[in-house]
Structure 1
Amino acid sequence: MTDVAEGQQFDYADFSGETWEDREFVSCSFVEADLSELSTRAVIFTDCDFTGVNLSFSKHSSSAFRNCHFERAHLNKIEIADCSLLGSVITNSRVRPMKIVDSDLSLTSIGGLDLSGVILRGCRLREANLADSDLTGADLTGSDLTGVRAIGTKLGQANLRGARIDPMLWLQAKVTDSLVDHGQAMEFAAAHGLNIGG
């Protein structure tokens, strides 16, 4: 049976190195809490406040951070797999290096962050806010980038092969030296009005 905590405050608490399974947190506060090296599996956080939290070196699988708020958070060296960050907002935070694979980041806001070199492989980023983020050299292979806000986004040298991309991204983001597949190269040309003859 899932252990549920609702509306509780865990501000400044020390949970470093712990392992959590089958737990749920709803509208809880983890302000300035130490969750470094935390390991979670099947743990759900909904509408939680992670302002100033330390989640560095933590690992999460089959868990969820839904509509959560991360500000001034330490998310470096975090590893996330098969998770959901649906609708969460991350601002003014340390996020690199970071590895997120096969996870749902739809409607997340990670605009204005230094995400250079991060791994976001096989992720769903539908309608996410990437505006003004630096994703130089990031690994986005196989990810779904449809509907993302990409004004001012830097994707130079990023690996975009196999990713689903709307024409608008090719017009909004800076993609110099990005790694793309043949189909994406054709889409880029079409988005810029090029007529490729046979």
Structure 2
Amino acid sequence: MPEPIEDVTFHDEDWYAEELADRHFVGCAFHRVDLTEATSRGAVFTGCTFGDVRFNVSRHTDSAFTRCTFIRCNLFEAEFTGCKLIGSTFDRCDLRPLTVTGGDWSFVTLGGADLRGARFTGVRMREADLSGADLTGATLTGADLSDVQWRGARLSRADLRGSDLTGLDPVAVQHSGTVIDAVQAVTLARALAFDIRD
């Protein structure tokens, strides 16, 4: 890993299709930077701020964006594979359609986000904030969704099979047509204080 770039502000830069392999940024700010079709592998961004940054069709593998803030960023068709976004916040970002495979998105703030049709598979999302998020038709399968903040979330037609739904109050979300498996059905029935017997 090279020496980190610390506390630098990048304005209006064209990083189109840039390869960010093993780059390391700490406390940096990125404003109106074009990262369209950029790729990162093993890159690390710690405590960075991204404002009006274009991540369109970008691909990120085994990279870390920890405690970062994304404001009004465009992540159209962005893909994250095996990435860590622990403690990061997304504010007024365009997140459709987003694909996340594996990795750790615990404590991420996505409150009120438009995540219709997004795909989260095998992701750790413990204690993430999804309150008020629109997850209509989204896929959240094989994910650790324990203790997620769900209040007001829209889960209609979402596929939640194989995910840990500990802490999900079915009454607090919209769930028409939500797909779950038999084990999850028992978990949710217990959350509603049903007495399950053979």
TM-score bracket for this pair, using the shorter chain length:
over 0.9
How far 1:170 sits from its partner (Å)? 2.8
Query: 1:6 is matched by which residue type in structure 2?
Result: E
Shift of 1:85: 0.6
Match of 2:59 in 1: 59
Kindly report the root-mean-square deviation, in angstroms, between the aligned alpha carbons of the 2 structures.
Answer: 1.1
Q: Which residue of 1 aligns with 2:16?
A: 16
Deviation, structure 1 residue 190? 1.6
Residue 195 of structure 1 corresponds to 195
Instruction: Determine the structure 2 residue equivalent to 1:2.
Output: 2
CA contact (8 A) 1:51 1:70 kept: yes
TM-score, normalised to structure 1, is: 0.96
Structure 2 length normalisation: TM-score?
Answer: 0.96
Separation in structure 2 between the aligned mates of residue 56 and residue 178 of structure 1, nearest angstrom:
29
Q: Deviations over 1:142-188 (max 9, x none)?
A: 00011111100111111111000114443422222111110111111
Gapped regions of structure 1 (runs ≥ 5): none
Q: Distance in 1 between matches of 2:21 and 2:169?
A: 38
Deviations 1:26-52 (A, max 9, x none): 011111111111000000001111011
- What is the CA distance between 1:196 and its match in structure 2? 2.9
Secondary structure of the residue that 1:140 maps to in structure 2?
A: strand
Q: Which runs of 4+ in 1 moved over 6 A?
A: none
- Aligned position for 1:160: 160
Q: Which runs of 5+ in 2 are unaligned?
A: none
Deviation, structure 1 residue 7: 0.7
Give yes or no for contact 2:147–2:167 (8 Å, CA) kept in 1: no
SS at match of 2:79: strand
1:173 corresponds to which residue?
A: 173
Identical columns (%): 36
Q: Tell me, what secondary structure is at the counterpart of 2:4?
A: strand
Asked if residue 116 in structure 1 is aligned to residue 116 in structure 2, the reply is yes
DSSP-derived class of the 1:147 partner: coil
Residue 68 (str. 1) matches residue 41 (str. 2):
no
Q: Residues of 2 paired with 1:65 and 1:167: CA distance?
A: 26
* Pair 1:104–1:113, CA change in 2 (3 A): same
